[in-house]
Structure 1
């Protein structure tokens, strides 16, 4: 008889507008969210490790054009893709992260390889790719990542001199694009993974919270696994992921109390928008956001699938 297990995933939080969401796009996004959750859940159902589950789930979202990670990554000021990702296993605090990679189809896989095949925690840019190719990762041309939507989005932002759109052609142009997953496996392990293309029109090799353990990603067996999405600079300043874990560990808050206190408390007060997905040490899931929406899905301890987009769902 199998033991309890669960998984939750997200595809970014922010201003997601119903009036600009076509029926077809709505269905496509929800289908991808379900596919991601089921990919990770299937691994858990067969007794697989939580790390394998979160990587599999995130890969589905990285391969979709609808999310700001992998294939759908936003473009930098120089019309390039620069991607960040991180993973953490809750059993022994093993972590791996990459930042500023340009030719890796699934950065979340490379982050796991940093964890498993190097003595390091975080590799960046050309060095991260040199490491990747030494492990037989396939070199992926930039053309694979550049979509018409992201190119048009970049040109619009360059014209306005912005890093976030005030006028949206798409329902989520003001969304803080990140994808992530958290899982609780039958062995009681927790794991988290996060991946992103960053922010449109970014310059100077900017890196956000998705590559930073304790800011965008955290996992600790018996306590919490969390993946964040939002305004990365604020999430780094508030070390959001580790702060939630600390509130649970030391203040004995439950997962809902801890998430809400951070996301709707000091983070929001200082102007930080976004959200988190979290699973506690018993496999209970919680979503928290201070925005109008967050692409999200989960399959809980009861085996029921949930897929949602808007905050009021």
Structure 2
């Protein structure tokens, strides 16, 4: 089940990336760690919304937690390019007026989602890249970290394995290496929507490659009239099909529900084109949809009752802290 309905209270959905570790390779300890990371993210966003805060603040808070958790491919857990560097992308969008900000190809700001938000709030632009984006972040006083902070042995070894497979001509079937992202979407108690997405990209990607996460309308979208969307998957395909905006367009012009539109895009449009991945979305009524077309998607939902519901594979969302 991917669709969840709401009353008039707030709603927050998060993802830690589609293309999970295969179930037969997932240990109980590691699975518990993923659920714990998702719950921390949900709780951070929930605290903002429960206090009457904005959807924009909630998605920022939720994504920051995921960026700080090395298990997920964003911020501290970002993967490496083929040159052995980390290049991170992020975006935020405010459904009230379609204000948006994004960064691409950066490494240094502790939380790329805050860099994207700074672009939205303190520049006349939507997307800044590379060294110019870094200079902007320094000028804004964002917290920076040294390269050692972002290093994880797991990501470094994944790069070596992927490079070895590429050299031998072996096809990499591991979805967890081919794509991974974090994101959040929210509806606040004032009826406003927002979305945020952050990623390290694809393991062994070409230096300078930018996926769908910072592309407004592809990996990130929010509009109070329809929905907020954060995507995760094969970015090139999501860009070509303007995946996030396509969901909103189907709702606006074809009268489809959030679940109808999101499932049609993920299952009927992206999947046949090779667009492995998924999306999280919430509409202006608080309905939530979480479809994916791959092995799994780290995901979670929280509402006004405070229950932190998470899941990884094709299974119902569950409260792992309650009997």
Q: What TM-score do you get using the length of structure 1 for normalisation?
A: 0.95
For 1:218, the equivalent position in structure 2 comes to 221
Q: Does 1:27 align with 2:28?
A: no
1:243 counterpart residue number: 246
Structure-2 separation of matches of 1:190 and 1:151: 36
Q: Give the superposition deviation at 1:301.
A: 5.2
| 2:172 counterpart residue number | 166
Structure 1 unaligned runs (5+)? none
Output aligned runs, 1:90-129, within 5 Å: 90-129=95-134
Q: Cα distance 1:154–1:223, how it changes in 2: closer, same or farther (>3 A)?
A: same
Unpaired runs of at least 5, structure 2: 1-6, 317-323
Q: How is 1:158-197 mapped onto 2 (pairs within 5 angstroms)?
A: 158-161=163-166, 166=172, 173-174=176-177, 176-197=179-200
Contact 1:292 1:310 in 2 (8 A): yes
Shift of 1:283: 1.0
Alignment equivalent of 2:287, drawn from 279, 284, 287 = 284
Offset, 1:81: 0.7
Pair 1:146-2:151 in alignment? yes
Shift of 1:167: 6.0
Distance 2:249 2:170 in 1: 31
From 307, 310, 318, give the equivalent of 1:304: 307
Larger mean CA deviation between 155-164 and 196-205 belongs to: 155-164
> Does the CA contact (< 8 Å) of 1:16 and 1:294 recur in 2?
no
What are the residue-to-residue correspondences of 1:254-293 with 2, within 5 Å? 254-293=257-296
Cα-to-partner distance string for 1:216-243 (whole Å, 9 max, x where unaligned): 0000003100000000000000000000
Q: What is the RMSD computed on CA atoms of the aligned residues?
A: 1.8
Query: Could you say which residue in structure 1 is the equivalent of 2:73?
Result: 68
Q: Secondary structure at the match of 2:290?
A: strand
For 2:186, what is the secondary structure of its paired residue? strand
Contact 1:87 1:191 in 2 (8 A): yes
SS at match of 1:96: strand
Report the equivalent of 1:84: 89
2:300 is the counterpart of 1:294 = no
Give the length in aligned residue pairs. Answer: 309
- Going from structure 1 to structure 2, the CA distance change for 1:302 and 1:249 (only over 3 Å counts) comes to farther
